[in-house]
């Protein structure tokens, strides 16, 4: 009994992250959809493309056969993890990153080297090597993950109306039918900008991002409830 309790306690201090890679061959033309799935034990989380104030993004390095190519990873919109004035962006439970490969005759020749940082109170780096398993049923998983990737909104739905910058804060006025329903915003990583993610505020038609440095554009994911969109926000000097 004591050994079991001890094993339980030890297990809780090490995050369990299971990684698998499913390949969905399309139309027999050498194109394959890939679903890289990470399943993470509670209460740990892993990080988005922009981890936020701390953490590290999931990193994927593909191994492909000669002549094959793979497109960029599709990242589902993250959640915000906030504590004591700091914020990170990432995933709990499960996340599926998607990609499309071409020039593939045998999907089992696709492999991925994956690394991540899993955090709860502590942080533990992890890595895994996975090889693709052909799984036509994973088409559903690919479609579901892709539906969670932020998309460009129509102007009618959401657009940037005005941007000002003063006293270290970028203030964005948005407009469109969804602008009153915006609930959160996640900046994409841009060289040259240092953003205070824990101090971002979002209200109807109004987003305030404390930042320093310079860049021409800040790509921003805006969440309106369950839907997420990408906006390119021009930055005044």
Binding site for other proteins (CB under 8 A): 45, 53-56, 79-88, 92, 117, 119, 121-125, 168, 183-184, 194, 196, 198-199, 202, 210, 212-213, 223
CB of 34 to other proteins, least distance (A): 24
Element (H, E) at 2: helix 2-12
CB of 173 to other proteins, least distance (A): 18
Which CB atom, from 155 or from 203, has the smaller least distance to other proteins?
Answer: 203
Q: What are phi and psi of 7, to 5 degrees?
A: -60, -40
Which CB atom, from 110 or from 207, has the smaller least distance to other proteins?
Answer: 207
Which CB atom, from 87 or from 96, has the smaller least distance to other proteins?
Answer: 87
DSSP one-letter code for 74: B
Which CB atom, from 132 or from 228, has the smaller least distance to other proteins?
Answer: 228
- How far, in Å, CA of 133 to CA of 111, rounded? 10
- 8 Å CB contact between 190 and 215: yes
Strand runs labelled E in 188-225: 193-195, 201-203, 206-213, 217-224
Which CB atom, from 121 or from 162, has the smaller least distance to other proteins?
Answer: 121
CB of 108 to other proteins, least distance (A): 29
- How far, in Å, CA of 26 to CA of 71, rounded? 15
CB of 77 to other proteins, least distance (A): 10
CB of 29 to other proteins, least distance (A): 38
Sign of the CA dihedral with 58 first, then 61, 64, and 70 last? positive
Mode of pairing for the β-strands spanning 206-213 and 193-195: antiparallel
């Amino acid at each position: 009994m004591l050994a079991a309790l001890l094993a339980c306690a030890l297990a809780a201090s090490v995050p369990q992250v299971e990684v698998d890679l499913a390949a969905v061959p399309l139309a027999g033309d050498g194109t394959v959809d890939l679903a890289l799935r990470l399943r993470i034990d509670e209460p740990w989380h892993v990080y988005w493309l922009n981890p936020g104030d701390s953490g590290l993004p999931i990193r994927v390095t593909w191994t492909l056969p000669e002549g094959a190519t793979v497109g960029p990873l599709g990242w589902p919109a993250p959640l915000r993890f906030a504590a004591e004035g700091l914020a990170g962006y990432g995933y709990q439970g499960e996340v599926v990153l998607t990609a499309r490969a071409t020039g593939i005759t045998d999907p089992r020749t696709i492999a991925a080297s994956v690394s991540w940082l899993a955090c709860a109170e502590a942080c533990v780096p992890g890595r895994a090597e996975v090889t693709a398993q052909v799984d036509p049923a994973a088409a559903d998983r690919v479609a579901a993950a892709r539906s969670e990737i932020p998309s460009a909104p129509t102007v009618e739905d959401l657009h940037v109306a005005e941007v000002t910058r003063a006293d270290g804060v970028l203030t964005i006025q948005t407009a469109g039918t969804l602008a009153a329903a915006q609930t959160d915003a996640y900046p994409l990583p841009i060289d040259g900008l240092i953003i205070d993610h824990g101090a971002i505020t979002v209200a109807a038609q109004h987003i305030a991002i404390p930042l320093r440095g310079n860049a021409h554009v800040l790509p921003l994911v805006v969440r309106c409830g369950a839907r997420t969109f990408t906006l390119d926000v021009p930055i005044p000097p």
